[in-house]
Structure 1
């Protein structure tokens, strides 16, 4: 959040500083996932504590300053996507700030939003600290680096983590036993909430456990868990920085701590999962016992399957049901045997709601929840106002099954569109077992046939790839994934195939200050390229991802020599080693590759660049098209700043553009250059000074 302690007096706005705004506001908003994770006071650089004191004139002036800054940043290599969203929604976001009454109402809402957001930022860290304090009586000193990493997940700096730790004693580590994980109720709640949110974000049923998130069962080996988690992390790094990426990153932290350490850790985690499954099963067992006077074999088998669907192995599921039955002082009927009832002098008259409720449970066990819903309605009618019957519990169970079935039906359609046919079959098989009478679309069987055919075709391609030449394997595995995007065999085999890096990278600065980066194509087919630039402080920044073997960096810092660039080949979430422009990659590939080509000459330049001020204060720049322009020529327009530097106004295929962020005063000098279909750039033609 902005800090406004330097304001001269109440009602005074500090001057707008573009560089400070970029670092303080744009960087924070980008990190949080975009404008929807911010508020208008932050976006327009208005101090929330002065919302009631600022005049409409002051606010309007600041809004216009920020609006002009956004226009000038539309070509920024890091923030252009964010700025485009801000420009697109400018009118709607700024409307409530321009009026004093609306601004006061908005300030009240934003104060509460910020309070909740700050609390959420510390929630994960506070839970981790609480677990350590509960176990050790303080925070072990050797755990502090781990807490820094936990804080970083929600955007906290080490300084903010350290400030939070001042509330608790820091102690020396207690020895090897301190490394053993403890899965308390708070962490169980966090993992469960993250898994549920992952399901909502992907519009699919939430994975019941961390193992299910990885597509593994409770019997998975440590090697399988480690390999699958590594593949997940690699693919997660290729996701855009949105909420799904943040949720998946947090879940993978829990995977690393709770199930990757080995079989003992997995066993401890599954014992914890059993506690959540118990909460789910207890009301269902109680309802079954109330209806049947015992846990009949059909109910027992059905509930064991329910427990296994929520992540337990069969042994734990069976033991858990026996434990619950013992607590409820009831008997469990063994398959094939019906215990003889105890002699009763006069059996009580059966309630009228009991038969339809038994029929409902039988239909539910048979996978017909729609029929069960009709029987529940009849049982509810017979029970009337009697609130002591188990009708509500059975009705809740039917409603839960139907809700999950409808989610899976939608998820099956979405998975088919993405060619995830293994997932399609999983959803359809689950629906056939648990909701056969839901009334699936008429094309459900056709979808099942397509999915099976795709999986079988991918099986054949993977088998042929494994038996064929090694050189052909990557292309064949990619073909298998094009047929079935979630084919486990193809994904596993592809993870073992290395991606070859470009043999060389060349960066050349032209007379206008731009840098053209070129590189040798990777021998691995079907890759794209990630290009990074090294900053003067040694940090690296991604400037683009392209399918071609060149990119123009219009945002490179000024200088005689170009910066250092690094290029990696990327495919399916995996990436090669990086090749840098200041060194050659060792190995035979580099020796065989030709030398980097020289930068080709530019195309014809436009002419007649004219810049004129419009009535609303903007500047209109127009020019004559470059010779031979057939509509495919792109023109870049730049404006000379007062300090002698340049800012990019925009790029267009037309022969005119308007600069809404032009400064007041004399018309600046503008430069226009041309490029055709991503090729080299022409000389830059300048307008006359205003």
Structure 2
């Protein structure tokens, strides 16, 4: 009996498989069955497997420009032939299925270790799991990255003891709330508008929205999302709609749970502010209560929840809430009486108005104006106003301190033309500190416009990069990174273009005992090479980087054996595979491929009467220095010497047997040509 496969859904595959593989660190931390959405079963039908592999391959091709998964998909596409071959062969697939099942069991044991430890302790203590401990186990599972359903499956193995009932409504954890808040903030940055404080505000809904209203708004948003181009905004909207589907759409209970989670975050935000407001008078005066209500409403709470949060915090601190506003005082009542102190209401009004204006300026993103208003409030504040004024002054100082730090980062990013990084800092300054000028007196708005223009220019250049030969596309993308270092689109696109590794690497000692490392040039133009030497313990020591195709290692360990070397090509943050000198390879390229400055054309080696071998060559140039190497009987290359002439005598050539094979290369201006061998007749 064969295992039936569920129909393939590309959207579900992206959310379920690609998201998990990306979070785990890439395809190397996964297995081919997961990547091709197959169960690790022994009785899969060959035709069904081939069809699924083709479906997944097609899904990868369609996701190659996805803003979030394009790098991951590029790696999957590059390794498709190797990974799919194991699944398409029935025998290899069964062996791989057994291996994958064992790997997954081991991985699950690690993931569930924290939860299993907590469960085992509860079972050992209570002979079961108390019902009032179940919700706590969900939180323990969340710490290990487990979904609620995964924890539920694990808990079914044990008996739940009677006790306090577990909450019927799932709570929204702190990490989930942090993710939603970060996405809403990024949505505000990308759209250039104020970030919506909650998912309800994003959808344009109120807390009492009905199921029909929720369905209508989410349907409209999904339609709008499908019309967006495949950029970062589309990815952010897609992720927000996932949270909407799980926190808002399921029904009133889910929406109530989400709003309670928002209220908990607002309470944490207001708690220190309320404590500062009641520190002196031990009560929450009407003016401060009105301000804190405004803050709670701006954070996305409805009026009922905002009032409840303030009442709860006041009860927590044991203070009285003043429900009515301070009475208006006429001009005659404000006039001071000779010899009498000003009435308390007048004193309060003198500092409350500028303080209220300072709070409004701070919310509007004008901390410099708020600072001036706070200083005015400080001049009028007495004993009753000192505490709330200091609280607002501390907020203003914190915002100004962050603005100074962001201006320094923005200036450094602009100076280095890292426009993507600069936009992030300048956008924050535009929204939260618009009236704080930069180091040279430039406002955030003007510099933000320039940074966005440069970023858009780089975006267009990435979009216009040719899709033809990899070398041409890489050159265009490198040009973008030259004008906009760190550009995410160019970096991601460049990462999909492989860098050609050297075809061969050789190493030989010269007469001085130094080792000369020589390698073939990469097929990718404009690269540098990283040369490493293997230590006796098997680790690698990087010797350096160079733009040529040879390097002298004067620090090589003394001995008969030549160390093993590895050379990798580098370009634009990308690295090719390393080619080792002990790998099975052709020692030198054929004569027809010989190229480079001053490259020799023909090489002849003739035994002389003395027993020495005279090596002669033609071609080259007047400024070339030639290096001559001899192939030893054990297959290694020995450096005979260097000369600026066109012949060299090898007095150390073996006297028995035929004439050895020699190879000659030329170096001009630090760049070495390919070698020409004496046993190659094709160029003669």
TM-score (ref. length: structure 1): 0.42
Structure possessing the higher radius of gyration over alpha carbons: 2
TM norm structure 2 = 0.42
